[in-house]
Amino acid sequence: MLRSTVASVLASLLIAPLLPATAQAATEAPRVPEAVGAGGVVSSVDPDASQIGIDVLRRGGNAVDAAVAVAAALGVTDPFSAGIGGGGFFVHYDAHTKKVSTLDGRETAPASADENLFVENGSPIPFPEAVTSGLSVGVPGTPRTWQRALQRWGTWSLDKTVRPAEDLARRGFTVDATFNRQVTDNAARFADFTSTRALYLPDGTPPAIGSTFRNPDLADTYRELREDGVNALYRGDVGRDVVQAVRQPPVAPGVTRNVRPGDMTMSDLGGYNAPLREPTRTRYRDLDVFSMAPPSSGGTTVGEALNILETTDLSKETQVQYLHRFLEASRLSFADRNRWVGDPTFSDVPTQELLSQRFADSRACLISPTQAMTSPVAPGDPRNPVPCATVGAPAATPYEGTDTTHLTVADRWGNMVAYTLTIEQEGGSGIVVPGRGFLLNNELTDFSFTPVTPGVPDPNLPDAGKRPRSSMSPTIVLHHGKPVLALGSPGGASIITTVLQVLTQRLDRGLRLVDAIAAPRASQRNGTNTQAEVAFLGTAEAEALRGLGHTFASTNEIGAVTAVERLPDGRWRAAAETSRRGGGAARVVWSSP
């Protein structure tokens, strides 16, 4: 469809002007938003982590080896967003087979969980109390994800890939404004746990900007993972310490916070698996867009929105009409996500039907070019799509923590990895495992505490061994089996809209990748108001959108994208944020103008 648009999209994608970039030593730790060259690229939120990935590629490692090394490093430098106490989704493109595969490293509920996990005396527990508790901690999936990725597609051992992060934790890194702010924002709850206070508030104050932060406990934990493998966590001493922290949170004396214990066991840890899942696949223009299937809602929701936009030539629309249709497609796809997506082991999730063009067309006809819809919009029926019809009551979008992280890697052979990992809330549960140096997640708060809509089946209620629904959207785009780009973002439920906005700005609107990432963002998630950054609200387009009936709520920041794309001469471009979260870190093995 729209072949002329496809041709122009691909031409723009392949011949966009380049910016010079130079690979930097880790000691300089510059935050560079774009790097172009050969030999492989890495893009993450952190300079030290990106440099570790480049070092792996320089030493002959492939994209998977580098991705695991970067993820381990982010557990050191970005510990309030990721680490071995959490989980994530790993999307891999194999340049030899031209196949995209995914690993589901999402956390699971313990075997004792049921739909009343977060209910007391007939009422849901207050959300902040659920977050800062052992009750919210899911069985971590990150170490198992690293193991399975390396076994399937890597060339390095876990020992070799984790060693640079261990060294980084021992020697330390320079505290930046983001790290300092994250401790400051969580200081009250961090101070309530003896282990968390000792690590992040040793003298009662957050680590100063410019100081060196070391984490010897985490270094020792990484050493155990290297020497004993992931069974150190799933069957060994690290795991026993995790279970102890969950069941008896290390609450400081005199603390008045109601910190509920969890019920995780060694059996829960020992039974954890990171299964290989088929990716979602959406045909958009002349491209194939692959992402993560349920229990993530990222692939189905981004894919449905793209299908809704498929029949409109967005390259020819005004900026106002482009943004209007982007927001309306997001609104509709979230209405369907909230009703239908959950853990496919526990619910019959209509994944293929949600991604059908027929269903998208039945939803697209609800979009008026002159008037925004009023949220919440009711879902459609993907199994029996009827044009412009809705079924049942609307389901609200529950809150998800925004402090996830994403990394993107490509190597000299053309392999790519898009990997989103998280501990959920900024700082997760707030509980550092004593003597281990890492925070535990609060991923189980991604479950619905009670049915979102009374009387309507909710596929996202807790259950034993169940994975909570996620919005993580690590995405890989191919053209006839060859790499075009890979990207992803943190941001809770706004991950979906962030990835969709960057994709359409790059592929349809022709923005350079770094500019598409830097552009002001808005996120409509079937809510009364569209969340929008201050920079977005200051545009003439935002005022015009208000004239179409859109209403906005201001927020400081949405997402923090990292991405890579292949250039026609075989070189790579890595791109990251120019300012969000202090700016990202794009790196290339061999730079070129």
Catalytic positions, please?
404
Helix or strand holding residue 590 (H, E): strand 585-591
**What is the C-alpha to C-alpha distance for residues 277 and 545, in angstroms, rounded to an integer?**
39
**What is the C-alpha to C-alpha distance for residues 79 and 179, in angstroms, rounded to an integer?**
9
Judging by beta carbons within 10 Å of its beta carbon (0-12, 13-18, 19+), is residue 253 exposed, middle or buried? exposed
Q: Are 419 and 67 in contact (CB under 8 A)?
A: yes
**What is the C-alpha to C-alpha distance for residues 296 and 102, in angstroms, rounded to an integer?**
11
Q: Are 444 and 108 in contact (CB under 8 A)?
A: no
Would you state the structure tokens that stand for residue 496, as one six-digit string?
């979906």
- Preceding peptide of 216 cis, ω within 30°: no
Would you state the structure tokens that stand for residue 66, as one six-digit string?
């580098």
96, 119, 195, 343, 468 from 461: Cα distances, Å: 40, 11, 31, 10, 8
Q: Are 439 and 85 in contact (CB under 8 A)?
A: yes
40, 103, 162, 226, 360 from 147: Cα distances, Å: 22, 11, 11, 11, 37
82 CB-near residues (< 8 Å, 6+ apart): 71, 74, 75, 88, 142, 404, 405, 421, 422, 423
489 CB-near residues (< 8 Å, 6+ apart): 406, 420, 473, 495, 498, 499, 502, 559, 560, 561, 562
| DSSP code at position 433 | P
Helix or strand holding residue 49 (H, E): helix 47-58
Q: Are 561 and 488 in contact (CB under 8 A)?
A: yes
- Preceding peptide of 295 cis, ω within 30°: yes
Strand, helix or coil at 335?
helix
